[in-house]
Amino acid sequence: MPASILIVEDEPSILELLSANARHAGFYPMEAPDVPAARTLLSEVLPDLIVLDWMLPGISGIAFLRELRTDSRTKDVPVIMVTARADEDDSISGLEAGADDYVTKPFSPKELMARVKAVLRRLPPDLESSSVTVDGLTLDPATRRVYTTRDGTEQRLHLGPTEFRLLHFFMTRPERVHSRRLVLEQVWGTDVPVVERTVDVHVKRLRDALKPAGYDTFIETVRGSGYRLSRIATARHLKSAA
Ligand code: CA
């Protein structure tokens, strides 16, 4: 079954162009010219990915993105933001609002499709790979679940697709220090240019997602070097939380 993509774009010619390109790339496109239309479509079908224009009439793309991220049904659907502003800070605030990637207008439909494929490729991380447990935290790629079992009660943690893949990367390589560049190559892939600050934004989101179970210190910042999953820091943290 082809992956379905919801494209939310108010400019009819761009919407048509993106839709045609998505179809050509083997996807099943759904079109919405504004947020209310997108909401209606989403109430019927949950797409595999959403391409969302930032500047929309009425409700902005960024406001809609926040809405999507607070709804349990849509919060894990990857979103690529389309922004007219080349300002890096704008792109970063899109990521902070929960976008998985972004493209800046003007962009080629080919570039957007490359990013769509890259985002879809990184979820789920690896269906064939077995589940991994570190310090009582389990990540299961087959069921896309992250959970911890303490006192016989399972506590499930909710991670976005990029955070899931990021955690998988760290959990399968504990204690080693990874540079931002390496994390980008391994988690995002080399075919898509992404700024290194993107890693920081997603690490922050990962920590927030791990916090309810006390694992927010799991991923340690190593000054001037990058990040590592630190077992010792976690053990200390869990002990002090108990
Ligand atoms: Ca627009």
Domains of the chain as residue ranges with CATH: 4-121 (3.40.50.2300), 125-241 (1.10.10.10)
Coil, strand or helix at 8: strand
Q: How far apart are CA 217 and CA 207, in angstroms?
A: 7
33: pLDDT strictly greater than 60? yes
- R_g of the chain, CA atoms, integer Å: 18
**Tell me, what's the pLDDT at 125?**
53
**Tokens 């761009």 map to which residue?**
14
Tell how far the Cα of 145 is from the centroid of ligand 1, in angstroms. Answer: 35
**Tokens 């939310």 map to which residue?**
8
Q: How far apart are CA 228 and CA 169, in angstroms?
A: 10
**Tell me, what's the pLDDT at 39?**
95
Average pLDDT over every residue of 131-150? 88
For residue range 141-197, what is the model confidence (pLDDT) as tens digits?
878 889 998 777 889 999 888 888 899 999 988 888 999 988 988 887 766 667 788
Q: How far apart are CA 118 and CA 95, in angstroms?
A: 16
Q: Are 206 and 159 in contact (CB under 8 A)?
A: yes
End-to-end CA distance of the chain: 47
Q: How far apart are CA 209 and CA 231, in angstroms?
A: 18
Tell how far the Cα of 110 is from the centroid of ligand 1, in angstroms. Answer: 19
The string over 59-94, giving b where at least 16 C-beta atoms fall within 10 Å of a residue's C-beta and e elsewhere, is eebbebbebbbeeeebebbbbbbbbeeeeeebbbbb
Which residue, 126, 155, 160, is CA-closest to 143?
Answer: 126
Q: How far apart are CA 179 and CA 196, in angstroms?
A: 10
Pairing mode, strands 49-53 and 4-8: parallel
Average pLDDT over every residue of 53-78? 91
Tell how far the Cα of 53 is from the centroid of ligand 1, in angstroms. Answer: 6
Tell how far the Cα of 1 is from the centroid of ligand 1, in angstroms. Answer: 30
Q: Locate all alpha helices (DSSP H) within 130-229, ordered by sequence.
A: 161-171, 180-183, 197-210
Contacts of 133 (CB under 8 A, 6+ apart): 139
Q: Residue 21 corresponds to which tokens in the numbers above?
A: 């390109």
Band (pLDDT 50/70/90 cuts) for residue 86 is low
Among the ranges 5-14, 72-81, 142-151, 174-183, which has the highest mean pLDDT value? 5-14
Tell how far the Cα of 55 is from the centroid of ligand 1, in angstroms. Answer: 4
Tell how far the Cα of 46 is from the centroid of ligand 1, in angstroms. Answer: 22
Tell how far the Cα of 109 is from the centroid of ligand 1, in angstroms. Answer: 15
Q: How far apart are CA 24 and CA 36, in angstroms?
A: 27
Tell how far the Cα of 75 is from the centroid of ligand 1, in angstroms. Answer: 23
Q: Is the pTM of this model over 0.85?
A: no
**Tell me, what's the pLDDT at 161?**
81
